[in-house]
Amino acid sequence: MSKKYDVIIIGAGPAGLFAGLSINGKKFKTLIIEKKQTPGKKLLLSGGGQCNFTNSSEIREFNVRYNNKNFVTPSLRSFSNNDLIDFLDKKCFKSLIRDDGKVFPESARASDLADLFVRLNIENGVDIISGTDVKSVSRDEECFNITTSGTSYNSRYLIIATGGKSYPQTGSDGTGFKLAEMLGHSITVLKPSLAPVFIKNHKLMELSGISFNNAKIDLYRNNTKTGSFTGELLITHKGFSGPAILNNSRYMENLDLLKISFTGKNFEETDQILQAGRNNSGKQSVKKFLQILNIPERLILFILNTLEISPGAQVSQLSREQRISLARYLSEYPSIINMVGDFSSAMATSGGVLTSEINKKTMESRICPGLYFAGEVLDIDGDTGGYNIQWAISSGRLAAMSISGTG
Ligand SMILES: Cc1cc2nc3c(=O)[nH]c(=O)nc-3n(C[C@H](O)[C@H](O)[C@H](O)COP(=O)(O)OP(=O)(O)OC[C@H]3O[C@@H](n4cnc5c(N)ncnc54)[C@H](O)[C@@H]3O)c2cc1C
CATH number for the domain spanning 205: value is 1.10.8.50
Query: Is the pLDDT score of 49 beyond 60?
Result: yes
Inform me whether the pLDDT recorded for 20 exceeds 70: yes
In this structure, of 110-124, 142-156, 283-297, 331-345, the range with the lowest mean pLDDT score is 283-297
Domain boundary among 318, 341, 364: 341
Summarize pLDDT for 120-167 with one digit per residue, the tens. Answer: 999 999 999 999 999 999 999 999 999 998 899 999 999 999 999 999
What pLDDT, on a 0 to 100 scale, did the predictor assign at position 283? Answer: 87
Same domain? 54 vs 157: yes
Phi, psi dihedral angles at 126 (to 5 degrees): -85, 135
Ligand 1 mean position to 358 CA, how many Å? Answer: 20
Q: For residue 376, which atom of ligand 1 is closest to its CA?
A: 26
Q: Are residues 119 and 229 in the same domain?
A: no
Give me the mean pLDDT over the 232-257 stretch.
95
pLDDT, one tens digit per residue, over 181-232 is: 999 999 999 999 999 999 999 999 999 999 999 999 999 999 999 999 999 9
pLDDT of residue 28: 98
Q: Is 386 in the pocket of ligand 1 (CB under 6 A)?
A: yes
Q: What is the CATH number of the domain that holds 382?
A: 3.50.50.60
CA of 173 to the centre of ligand 1 (A): 10
* Beta carbons within 8 Å of 305's beta carbon, 6+ residues apart: none
What pLDDT, on the 0 to 100 scale, is given for residue 282? Answer: 78
Does 265 share its domain with 353?
Answer: no
Whether 205 and 323 map to the same domain: the answer is: yes
* Domain identity same for 154 and 76: yes
Q: How far apart are CA 364 and CA 372, in angstroms?
A: 4
Rounded mean pLDDT of 165-184?
97
Section 322-345 average pLDDT = 96
Among candidate residues 307, 341, 375, the one where a domain is terminated = 341
Same domain? For 240 and 380 the reply is no
Task: Kindly tell me the sign of the dihedral angle through the C-alpha atoms of 76, 80, 81, 85.
Answer: negative
Q: How far apart are CA 248 and CA 189, in angstroms?
A: 18
DSSP 327-367: HHHHH-EEEEEEEE--TTT-SEEE--B-GGGEETTTTEESS
72 and 115 together in one domain: yes
Any residues with CB less than 8 A from the CB of 293 and at least 6 apart, and which? 262, 263, 265, 270, 273, 330
Q: Which of 90, 121, 91, 158 is nearest to 25 (CA)?
A: 121
CA of 130 to the centre of ligand 1 (A): 15
Contacts of 176 (CB under 8 A, 6+ apart): 10, 11, 160, 162, 163, 377
Same domain membership, residue 211 and residue 135: no
Residue 295 has pLDDT above 90, yes or no: no
Mean pLDDT, residues 91-113 taken together:
97
Residues 220 and 161 in one domain: no
| This prediction's pTM | 0.91
Q: Give the angle 270-275-276 at the CA atoms, nearest 5°.
A: 95
Q: Does the structure show a pLDDT above 70 at 370?
A: yes
Size of the chain in residues = 407
Q: What is the mean pLDDT of residues 234-244?
A: 96
Question: Residues 97, 158: one domain?
Answer: yes
Is the C-beta atom of 387 inside 6 A of ligand 1?
Answer: yes
- Share above pLDDT 90 across residues of the chain, in percent, rounded to a whole number: 92
Mean pLDDT score, 113-122 = 98
Q: What is the dihedral of CA 294, 297, 298, 300, to 10 degrees?
A: 80
pLDDT band of 407, cuts 50, 70, 90: very low
Among left, alpha and beta (phi > 0; psi -120 to 50; other), residue 308 is left
Ligand 1 pocket check for 388: Cβ under 6 Å: yes
Cα gap 300→320, rounded to integer Å: 18
- Bridge-partner residues for 258, per DSSP? 219, 335
Same structural domain, 244 and 163: no
Ligand 1 in contact with 174 (CB < 6 A)?
no
Helix 110-123 × helix 14-22 angle, to 10°? 30
Asked if residue 380 has its Cβ within 6 Å of ligand 1, the reply is no
**Domain final position from 310, 341, 372:** 341
Q: Are residues 234 and 332 in the same domain?
A: yes
Enclosing domain of residue 265: 196-341
Domains of the chain: total: 2
